[in-house]
Structure 1
Amino acid sequence: MDATGAQQVEEAVADCVSALGAAVGRDWRAVRAEGLEWDCRRTAEHIADDLISYAGQLAGRATDAYVPFGIALEDGTDNAGALHVIRTAGTLLAATVRSTPRAVRAFHPFPFRHANREGFAAMGVAEVLLHTHDIAAGLGVAYEPPAALAEFVLTRLFPEVRPGPAPWPTLLWATGRGDLPGREPVTAWRWSNNLVVPADRLTLEGVTPAAAAGLAVGGGGGFTWVDSGPYDGTRDAAGALLKAYETGVLRARWGMFVMVRREDDRAIGGIGFHGPPDEDGRVEIGYDLSPEARGHGYATEALRALSAWALEQPEVTSVFAATEPDNLASQAVIGRVGFTRIDGGEEEFAYELRR
């Protein structure tokens, strides 16, 4: 699968054009798209506008707001012309995704005010799939996209949605467009791009279920790693995150992050939480580094940055960390960040950092 998401954008657009092409002779302005206030023609224009807007966000490196532009179809454009515009806008988004460096993030409001190229690709695919469904349902046209495209969206934008029996019905349910047995209807929703926390020389990038799946089976998870690759603890943490996602208990902000070196965009280790804060406001943190990245102060920077972020959250009162008694290097890192030793057993030293 294309790690950038460009190929998925192209596949989604091709599937949209194929499905709706069967109804170009209908009056799309006379039919309301299912579940929307817009007619089918307005919804098709919205698909094209979203695709070109996402391309503009990435190409323009927007940092704090939407780039102030949009598109409008010329008067007299028929439905076939509207599909041509969707195809063109999709091609532009795919090309922009492919040409954008992996580390670039541009403005998008939900939920952390930024997204990377893969996030914009996933949002583009989501807009195409969901609004093609809305138009097709309004026109009475059969439509079901490839399951892999729905899964692409779910594993990048819906990390807290437990996978259902099939990706497409799950995505429809997650966006208030369908029912799933045993689950309450969704009446309000937002997708969730991954959290990024800056450190001095590093960027701590939140791991999506898609990235965790790659790391857990021996891959890079979409990151370019230093030569020694992810350490065992990073892969174990990715496996735990994936299990939490599959069972529906993942809370994405309190998951795993990959430490990425800014100077060369190389991943050097993993850091993250063992779960959300408990009822006392305590959250546990852990980390490891790839062997060749040790001894440069990276773990200290990452632990300091992520602990500070955690203590800024209103539900957190303290950050907890534990090490084995003979792990002197980890104890030194914890001490430099300001953790203090608390009661612990003979097999484990316990430390705490409070507000």
Structure 2
Amino acid sequence: MTKQPFTIHIPQTTLDDLRDRLSRTRWTDEIPGTEWEYGVNRSYLKELMDYWRSEFDWRAQEKMLNTFAHFRADIDGVDVHFIHEHGKGPDPIPLIITHGWPSSFTQMLKIIPLLTDPERYGGDPADAFDVIVPSLPGYGFSDRPVERGMTVSRIASLWTHLMTNELGYKHFMAQGGDIGGGVTQQLALAHADYVSGIHLTDVNYPYFSEKPQNLSEAEQRYVGASMAFLFQEGAYAMIQATKPQTLAYGLNDSPVGLAAWIIEKFRAWSDCDGDIERKFSKDELLTNLTLYWATETINSANRIYYEEMHNPTPQTYDEHSDVPTAVAIFAKDITPAPREWAERTFNVQRWTQMSRGGHFAAMEEPELLVEDIRASFRPLR
């Protein structure tokens, strides 16, 4: 067994250096009267960076993060960080939840207690889960990959090893969105002997793969909307999929550059009507940012886009999984897929159209997401 308890502690020298860099920012110009049309609004970014430098209390956030049970384990030569919280109920079932980009394991903090201890929050203790929330390789406190090929398929193999060999579960459930959704889908496709059910908040985007034939009208609209998104909003994805290293020098050296790259996505992809702090507090945004900054993982996190674009064996639409699948589509997520798109590949047993919420569902609408997870997996217990 390689599982070892892990305590988060960022060196004070790293925090002091961060504040020093923030105080010496060389701000760019901005066309008067513009808001977010050209990118991140300078006025808001200055406000957030002033808070990061002078008011944000990382030590308080660190103390909060350490109330969860953190571990690291060597999984096939990759040290993986994960939270492992045991459920409080008569028969908790194991559930691995995978985050995406540009978030981190911190995206799941609101839903972990709701899933592990439902009775405390007015739910049925029979719905309890053992919850495992890993940091993707290259993110946070997991190892940065030193070899090519850390695709979602490879990560799904690591997660299966973590859940079975390391944690001793014979079968488990899986949930995720964004990159975490890709990993979860690969768990259902390639590791069905161990995966009893999956829950997704989005289905594989048709960005880097060949499109299936005989598309329905709804699927044609979806593919068209996805391609429009790629051309209008997807510059980040194309840079990260083609020249991530070039981008990384600026993001790893400038906290303001890092913040601008990430904060824009939290605003654009959430159900906030342009006001980012309707959905995320400054402390939530900056806890995620500080994690990227302190661990110097923006380059290794971005690289997964490159690995997927250059994957020699990408997922194809003639693959199929019989694993029971539930999908929750949040109203303001990125180009939501129609049900028939998901049914090309997955055994869709439940499809929920949420009236609100966006790409970061676990942070934006934790109660809605948790209730759908509970209802989706209840028949599979």
Fold conserved (TM > 0.5)?
Answer: no
Structure with larger RCO (C-alpha < 8 A, sep 6+): 2
Q: What's the TM-score, normalizing by structure 1?
A: 0.25
Q: What's the TM-score, normalizing by structure 2?
A: 0.24
Radius of gyration: which is bigger?
A: 1
